[in-house]
């Protein structure tokens, strides 16, 4: 298996622009998570899905953030409009069942200038 | 609510020395415990996990951890550090079958020749 695939690896955008981050989970995994990592706050859970349904989005910082999972093999995290304080590494992770650890993607490093 | 405390944001050891990274957790139910490693510019990789059964768990790269319920601890150890062990290490907890992982702030392991 190719693991959890995220794209792009790096994104530099100007403040006010829309940013879309993409994630392909491992086939057969029924949970998908979006995390954000910063020096100040560490790893923060933004939202997670179970069987493509959003379960908990309480970590999404503002209405500027939205996430979708239209099918079992694809999810997006969108920021519109982006702000410099959104600069971070965004990780996607997937999980099968509840007895195992997550498998993380390589992350997307977002820089908003 | 579950939480994780990692003592020491940075730990320095010499090559060949014992590695000890400390993790204490808080959980209202029997926890599942994990250690992840993150190399620069990469995602998080699962080192080892404790769910049930034997309290001493062995992971990849010679690491092991022991679940001590009375001390609410899950410290990570390796008898002899290698230069390639230099990375950031994250302890994480999940409450039983509840699917969300809560991460500690991470400990950066520095290995000197």
When CB atoms are compared, the residue of A4, A42, A56 closest to B106 is A42
For chains A and B, count residue pairs whose Cβ atoms are closer than 8 Å.
51
* A87 min Cα distance to partner chain B (Å): 15
- Residues of B whose CB is below 8 A from A91: 43-44
Q: Across the interface, do B36 and A56 touch by the CB < 8 Å criterion?
A: no
Starting at the edge strand found earlier in the chain, the sheet holding A74-79 runs: A5-7, A19-24, A74-79, A65-71
- Residues of B whose CB is below 8 A from A102: 44, 46, 101
The answer to whether the CB of A101 falls within 8 A of the CB of A34 is: no
Which helix (H) or strand (E) element contains residue A31? strand A31-38
Rounded-to-10 torsion of CA A108, B93, A97, B37: 40
- Please report, for chain B, how many H helices and E strands are present, in that order: 0, 11
Is some CB atom of chain B closer than 8 A to the CB atom of A57? no
When CB atoms are compared, the residue of B42, B97, B100 closest to A45 is B100
Q: Across the interface, do B99 and A31 touch by the CB < 8 Å criterion?
A: yes
Other CB atoms within a 10 A radius of the CB of residue A79 amount to 22
State pLDDT tens for residues B42-92: 899 999 999 888 899 999 999 999 999 999 999 999 999 999 999 999 999
Residue with tokens 């794209």: A7
Q: What angle do CA B101, B72, B42 make, to 5 degrees?
A: 35
Both tokens of residue A1?
Answer: 């298996």
Spatial CB neighbours of B77, under 8 Å, sequence gap ≥ 6: B18, B19, B20, B21, B63, B64, B65, B66
State pLDDT tens for residues A55-79: 999 999 889 999 999 999 999 999 9
Both tokens of residue A19?
Answer: 């940013």
* B27 min Cα distance to partner chain A (Å): 16
Phi, psi (deg, nearest 5) at residue B104 = -75, 180
**Rounded CA separation B102/A109 (Å):** 21
State pLDDT tens for residues A12-67: 999 999 999 999 999 999 999 999 999 888 899 999 999 999 999 999 988 999 99
Which residue of chain A has the CA closest to B34? A101
Beta strands in B1-86 (DSSP E): 3-7, 10-14, 19-26, 31-38, 44-50, 56-58, 64-68, 73-78
pLDDT band at residue B108 using 50, 70 and 90 as cut-offs: very high
Kindly state the average pLDDT of the residues B5-27.
Answer: 95
Q: Across the interface, do B103 and A42 touch by the CB < 8 Å criterion?
A: yes
pLDDT at A98 over 70: no
Kindly state the average pLDDT of the residues B2-6.
Answer: 91
**Rounded CA separation B73/B80 (Å):** 21
């Amino acid at each position: 298996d190719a693991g959890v695939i995220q794209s792009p690896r790096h994104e530099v955008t100007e403040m006010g622009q829309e940013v879309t981050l993409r994630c392909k989970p491992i086939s057969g995994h029924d949970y998908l998570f979006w995390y954000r990592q910063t020096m100040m706050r560490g790893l923060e859970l933004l939202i997670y899905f179970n069987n493509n349904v959003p379960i908990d989005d309480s970590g999404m910082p503002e209405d500027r953030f939205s996430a979708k999972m239209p099918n079992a093999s694809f999810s997006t995290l969108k920021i519109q409009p982006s702000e410099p304080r959104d600069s971070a590494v965004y990780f996607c992770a997937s999980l099968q069942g509840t007895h195992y650890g997550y498998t993380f993607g390589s992350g997307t490093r977002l820089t908003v200038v | 609510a579950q939480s994780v405390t990692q003592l020491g944001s940075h730990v320095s050891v010499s090559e060949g020395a014992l590695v000890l990274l400390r993790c204490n957790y808080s959980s209202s139910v029997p926890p599942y415990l994990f250690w992840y490693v993150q190399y620069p510019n990469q995602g998080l990789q699962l080192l080892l996990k404790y769910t049930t059964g034997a309290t001493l768990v062995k992971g990849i790269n010679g690491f092991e951890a022991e679940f001590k319920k009375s001390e609410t601890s899950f410290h990570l150890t390796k008898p002899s550090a290698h230069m390639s062990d230099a990375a950031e290490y994250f302890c994480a907890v999940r409450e039983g079958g509840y699917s969300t992982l809560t991460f500690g702030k991470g400990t950066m392991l520095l290995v000197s020749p």
